[in-house]
Every structure is written in C-alpha cells, then in structure tokens.
Amino acid sequence: MNPMGEKRNSQSAVQYLLDAFNDKLLSGALLPGDQIPTEVELSEQFGVARNTVREAIKILVAMGVLEIRRPVGTFVCEGFTEPMISPLLYGVILGRGDSYDELMDLREIMETGTMLTVIRNATDEEVLTLEKPLAELREACFAAAPSVDAVFHKDDAFHEAIMALSHNRMVERISEIVRTMTHDMRHESVEHMISGGRNEEFYAAHEKLYRLLRDRDVDGVYREIRSTYFVPDSI
C-alpha cells in the first residue's frame, strides 16, 4: 500500500495534503530518505488537481521537509535542514510578545541545557579547546580601549564554541535561534558592562562557565547560569 493515505475531506486541499504528510512522518509511515509518490499518483489518491499537489510539495520543499532530486523524484529530507530554521525562528519571534523576562527564561533554559549536554557529550580534550576563545575574549575585554562590538563578537564566538561541543545538531541549532532572538539583549548587556568599566567582572563570568564545564560541575550549572547574566538598570 502506498504510504500517503486516503482521499481528501472538506479541508482546504493544500492544507489537507500538508496535514497528511505530517501524520505520515509522525507515524513513521514516511521515513527520512523515502521517495514519495509522483504528482499524478498523489492527485489520484487524494482526488485533487495536480497543481494542488504541486503547491503542497513546493511548501514542504521550502520548509526543508522534502527535496527534489531531478530526474529521480521527490524524497523526504534526512536530518535537520537549514530551511527549517527560518519558519521556526519567525514563529517564535512573532509569538513571543515583548516580555523581557520570558526571553531571559528561554535563554537560561537553553544555555543550561546546552551546558549539561556538553558535560555529558564532550571529552576533556574538547573542553580544553575552549581556552582559545576564552583567551581571545579576555584580550578583547582588557584591551587598552575595549570595543563593545569586539567584546560582543568574542563573547559570541565563545558561546558558539560551547554549542559546538554538544555534539547534538538540534541543540546547536535551537541554541542559535535563541541567541539570535536575544541578540539585542546580549549586546546591551555587553555595552552596559564594558562602558561601565566592569570588564573584569564580565570576563570572570565567562571564565566561570569554562570552569563549570572543565570540572563537570552539573550542580554548579544549575546554580550559576543566571548569575552570569548582566541586566542593565534600565530594564
């Protein structure tokens, strides 16, 4: 039996096809790497016009769910693809409202989870590689005339290096989304610290994160993450 399912009901034809793909993926009837039926076959199975099938496939390709391999056919993508990021990012951004506290909570949840994943998955040698981006952050923080943008760039590089040690592509991608969402918040925090002459305190917070990972200090991660955030007085 073909994996795609029954005739359409009264729902929008395109939406019904999208829901059918979703159901089959969730149930395991369609698996990563599977080839889906042709447009003609799908049209006959669901009782819809070929242009309706074509539109549904176009949407799923844009979302990174399907890929077209000419001249072979259309296949279910394997793994977490780049096109999946944008709709997820926009969906979260548009639904988040203006709550600073909610963003802080989300940031804490993701950074705590990422740190714990690194503790579980990274080797001692891999954790030691964080010394390089940490040293570069220190150099930026204690430059003769520290640049907010330079410190922010090195801060990002340090956190990206941590994410890479999770050895979990989905954790890394979702963490990237959260860091994109909190970009302005984090930049304002860096500006607050550097402009206020609190360079040493800012660097020390990052050194603390490194020690937590190096020492595999799970309890410390839960206890200390929020303390490494610096909130400007205006918030």
pLDDT tens digits for range 30-45: 898 999 999 999 989 8
Average pLDDT over all residues of the chain: 85
In single-letter form, the type of residue at position 233 comes to D
Q: Residue 26 — very low, low, confident or very high, per pLDDT cuts 50/70/90?
A: confident
Sign of torsion over alpha carbons 107, 109, 110, 116: positive
pLDDT of the residue at 91: 59
4 within 8 A of 44, measured Cβ to Cβ:
no
Q: How far apart are CA 152 and CA 143, in angstroms?
A: 13
Does position 175 have pLDDT exceeding 80, yes or no? yes
pLDDT digits (tens, 9 = 90+) for 181-209: 788 888 989 999 999 999 999 999 999 99
CATH class of 84-226: mainly alpha
Does position 6 have pLDDT exceeding 50, yes or no? no
pTM score over 0.75: no
Domain range annotation of the chain? 13-79, 84-226
Name the percent of the chain lying above pLDDT 90: 46
- State the residue for tokens 């929008």: 12
Does position 170 have pLDDT exceeding 90, yes or no? no
224 burial via Cβ count (<10 Å: 0-12, 13-18, 19+):
middle
Q: Where are the beta strands (DSSP E) in the chain?
A: 66-69, 73-76
pLDDT digits (tens, 9 = 90+) for 88-97: 555 555 555 5
Architecture (CATH level 2) of domain 13-79: Orthogonal Bundle (1.10)
